[in-house]
Structure 1
Amino acid sequence: MSDTATETSAAARTVEGISALLEDGHVPNFIYNDADVFELEQRKLFGRAWVFLAHHSELPEPGDFVVRYIANDSVIVARGNDGEIRAFLNSCRHRGAKLCNAEMGRARAFTCIYHGWTYDRAGNLTGVPFGRQIYQGLDKAELGLLPVAQVDEIEGFVFGCLDPAAPSLRDYVGDFAPYLQLVTRRSAAGLEVAGPPQRWVVGSDWKISAENFVGDAYHTPYSHHSTYEIGLMGYSSRDTMPGGPKTGFHVQAGNGDMAMARRARENEMGYPEGTFDTFRTQASPEVVRMFDEGVGDGSGSWPTRWHLFPNLSSLNLPVMIDGEIVPFLTIRLWQPKGPGVTEVLSWCLVEADAPEEFKQRSRRAYTASFGPSGMFEQDDMENWRTISRSAKGAHTRDTPQYVRMGEGQEIRPIAGWPVPGTVWPTQYTDIPAKTFLRRWASWLSQ
């Protein structure tokens, strides 16, 4: 083992040691496949941060529900008779059995299959079989489902937080909130899910995929080279190399990151005519200026991908389908299932009032590129799996990763940006990855 690896092994046994290595431009491999790290994340991070649960279009009517997770806690997310979206731990208050086994549906009530205790759409205990005969003084009001401490939504995205003392969702998202308008306000009717989320399990730590979406433009011209060769992408691999128009710039704001490409003003990215005009009437003036003027170099901007800490990511890309440019929008949740294991939930979203033909083509574009069998997704998953496998090796786990791209180049933020946030003039930098990991380490140290 090298001297550097030995030093890493000794230093990185604490969160403080990991933080010190980060400041030195290194990341210890073992954090991507370690039981102790996983358990610490469950308690310190996912037990206190805001986590994405659903898009509100998945719950259009009272009684509609989905079952999701916050870390390893199963959660029922349901719309009540009053129209409010609530979330509860998916565990019967009687003997702890899983209450709802369906992943989604519509229910008048939730009944436990073990002993038949029944709860209404607001989580209140309403029925106990033989209750009068076998219980004395049973107080149903005290035995409702345990609620997720805080539930709120922003731009149609529903989040939950298990910590009642945590800041509000608006405060948590912070200055990143305006950037969500770039993808949510292109339709007067808003966004809707194009079917249920696709789900699959990959042998990879959730942080690897999150970091990839936070700020890894470096892998694109290499890992995804075959997609350019067959013409799936609507531009060349040269466009994604340093200085290319698709590498554009990177924005950091609040708890979020967004990678943005340069866009010619007349380029409508394959969306139906009038989509961008609608956006300009619905987004704030500052966001419209950011969209149309970018960094002030004569071209506009386009949000290619974004990430909201800890584990929600999104892509908004154009691809070639039957010789035509077709855009798609996907959001994906990196759900940690165990050390080195992640369940991916991936949604395709479309403008609710778009023509049906466009919705179908957009979903096809998503499926061909970033669905579980999509070409981009297959490339990425293989990369992620190899990292997690290496992180489990007896010696490799202590080998430091090198996270110093962009150092020494005097990369400075762009001045005059119309929306709060720090804008970097290139995506070829490890600043976003290091920011993500610093934030992660900070949560684990609290």
Structure 2
Amino acid sequence: MSRYDAQGRLELADRIRKTVLPERGQIPMFVYTDPDVYELERERLFGSTWLFLAHTSEIPNPGSFVVRSMGEESVIVGRGDDGVVRVFLNACRHRGMRLACEDFGEVANWRCPYHGFTYGSRGEFMGTLMGAPFERSAYPEGLDRDALHLVEARAEIYQGLVFATWSRSGPSLDEFLGDVRWYLDLIVGRAEMEVVGVPERWMVPTNWRLPSENFTADAYHTATAHSFLSRLGMVKGVDFGRDGYHVDPGGGHGLGIGVHFDGESYFPAELAEEYATRLDGGQAQTLARVKNLHGNVFPNFSFLIPNFIEIEGRRVSGAMLRVWQPAGPDRTQVWSWHLVERGAPEWWKRLGRKMYIQTFSSSGMFDQDDTENWEAQTRSSNAALYRQEEFLLHYGMGLDAPPLPPGEFPGPGDVYDGKFSEAAARTYYRVWRNHVLEEVR
């Protein structure tokens, strides 16, 4: 009997309910790569939550667009003549062929390459059917242009970050992000930011949730998986990932802030004035102490200030965005953006790009370490699908540790002293469980 009949769904839901117990620090390994769990995620998670798609600097002009994904569905993110950014399902209403087959561009219309149905890509006609070849002879009764409008997602922007959801109701983007906005500002709100080049993409044979939860809560792996930094003299010791704060801002989001004790900001002095005008006092104070910052917006949008390293005699870092795009239960397409302050000095831009390529690009040293671990975890999960007994994983780090008292850290959420904690990972799985179990009868 297929698990996707009514009885099968109930049995799967019951298994998730009984074994996914983040409040006990317990997660079963089968949920990573079980195909039926993945189908629930496609329907209940990626079909309803806010998903990051693009940065506004990628679509600067009327008619400019990029092609991205929501779950496994292709979408067009475009800017109209009115400056409004809209998101449409990348599928013609005639036979479902993809309209935009390029990754990005700037056009007056989107024209289906199959039968030639044409849709507006600008202004008030954006997404509207404009016409079809030989329309009068093929459709003498005419075409209902309203009924054939492109399927549009709900789209909103925060600090240049374009998000969309298929849910017509539910929380606004601000409500969805909640307290994590305070921390996102340290990455994308500290200055006017722009994407450098186009995002890199590559495939990894791993489940999408493994890297997502890594950025949410896992500073613990750095001493082992990334110990090369110490051996190469790039940091003072393998404990470089410990000092700082673990933050559970709620909503399934999470982050870690690594801090230094040198007394002066590692960021360029030339940008201090812009930072001060865009950040509040607590944010500016926090940014001045940052030596690294990693985080994840639920479910699969990660952000990073990599550890500052010295290049050509200057200490440098950057800003990176990631989407862990699901392509199956054990296959993920990585999308990676490098951002920089538009008004930054040229040395910061040049060395920041060099740092990105060296550390967190598709060929970067950190990614080689991480993807090897995620691939091996995925193989273990696939093997565990055939076990007679559940293989339970331990998510109990800091389970009984209280957060800092109010006022001891300027940012919101539950903030823990030191980055070694799994509090945000446990919240991540509580939110995940709520999504995949909703509407189960």
TM-score after normalising by structure 1: 0.89
The equivalent residue for 1:14 is: 15
Per the alignment, residue 410 of structure 2 pairs with: 418
In structure 1, what is the Cα distance between the partners aligned to 2:420 and 2:374?
19
Equivalent position SS for 2:178: helix
CA distance, structure 1, for counterparts of residue 56 and residue 260 of structure 2: 30
Per-residue CA shift, 1:327-348, capped at 9, x if unaligned? 1210100111101111110000
Q: Does 1:174 align with 2:178?
A: yes
> What is the CA-CA distance between 1:315 and the residue it aligns to?
1.1
Asked if 1:239 is matched to 2:235, the reply is: no
Does the 8 A contact of 1:12 with 1:28 survive in 2? Answer: no
User: Which residue of the partner structure matches residue 386 of structure 1?
Assistant: 376
- 8 Å CA contact 1:328–1:362 kept in 2: the answer is yes
* Aligned twin of 2:202: 200
Q: Which is worse superposed, 178-187 or 198-207?
A: 178-187
Q: Name the CA distance, whole Å, in 1 between partners of 2:256 and 2:389.
A: 30
1:388-434 CA distance string (max 9 Å, x none): 111011239931111112245x4433331333311111221221211
| 1:218 match | 220
Structure 1 residue aligned with 2:138: 134
User: Cα distance, 1:303 vs. partner?
Assistant: 5.6
Correspondent of 1:227 among 203, 212, 229? 229
The CA deviation string for residues 255-289 of structure 1, in whole angstroms up to 9 with x for no partner, is: 332211223464332x3323233212221234335
What residue ranges of structure 1 are gaps of 5+ in the alignment? 1-9, 242-246, 293-299
> 2:296 maps to which residue?
307
177-186 or 329-338, which moves further after superposition?
177-186
Of 323, 336, 359, the residue aligned with 1:346 is 336
Structure 1 position 321, deviation (Å): 2.2
Partner of 1:437: 429
- Counterpart secondary structure, 2:337: strand
- 1:139-150 equivalences under 5 Å are 139-148=144-153, 150=154
Does residue 89 in structure 1 map to residue 89 in structure 2? yes
Q: Do 2:135 and 2:142's aligned partners in 1 also have CA atoms closer than 8 Å?
A: no
**Quick one: distance in 2 between partners of 1:384 and 1:333?**
15
Equivalent residues of 1:92, 1:145 under 8 A apart: yes
Q: Aligned partner of 1:260: which letter?
A: I
User: Mean Cα displacement is larger for which, 387-396 or 256-265?
Assistant: 256-265
The separation in 2 between residues aligned to 1:117 and 1:304, in whole angstroms, is: 47
Can you list the C-alpha shifts for 1:155-196, whole angstroms capped at 9, x where unaligned? 110000001012110111112222222122433xx0000111
Paired with 1:369 and 1:396, the residues of 2 have a C-alpha distance of: 41
Q: Which ranges of structure 2 fall in alignment gaps of 5 or more residues? A: 1-10
Partner of 2:279: 283
**Contact conserved, 2:64 with 2:105, CA < 8 A, in 1?**
yes
For residues 82 and 166 of structure 2, the distance between their equivalents in structure 1, rounded to whole angstroms, comes to 23
Distance 1:367 1:375 in 2: 9
Q: 2:156 aligns with which of 129, 152, 158?
A: 152
Q: Distance in 1 between matches of 2:111 and 2:236?
A: 52
Aligned to 1:403: 395
3-state SS, counterpart of residue 317 of structure 2: strand
Taking only aligned residues, the RMSD between alpha carbons, in angstroms, comes to: 2.0
> How far, CA to CA, are the matches of 2:106 and 2:229 in structure 1?
40
| 1:44 and 1:443 in contact (8 A); partners too | yes
Q: Does 1:118 align with 2:108?
A: no
- By how many angstroms is 1:234 displaced? 4.2
- The answer for the alignment partner of 2:7 in structure 1 is none
Please give the TM-score of this superposition, normalised by the length of structure 2: 0.90
Structure 2 distance, partners of 1:396, 1:112, is 50
| Distance in 2 separating the partners of 1:18 and 1:85 | 41
Q: Distance in 1 between matches of 2:53 and 2:415?
A: 29
SS of the equivalent of 1:275 reads: helix
CA distance in 2, matches of 1:177, 1:74: 27
Shift, 1:120, TM fit: 0.9
Matches within 5 A, 1:315-326: 315-317=304-306, 318-326=308-316
Give me the whole-angstrom Cα distance separating, in 2, the residues matched to 1:370 and 1:301. 18
> Following the alignment from structure 1 to structure 2, what is the Cα–Cα distance between the partners of residues 13 and 327?
46
The letter for the 2-side match of 1:96 is G
Partner amino acid, structure 2, of 1:275: L
Evaluate the alpha carbon distance shift between residue 93 and residue 101 of structure 1 in structure 2; reply closer, same or farther with a 3 A threshold. Answer: same
Q: CA 1:281/1:322 → structure 2, altered by over 3 Å: closer, same or farther? A: same
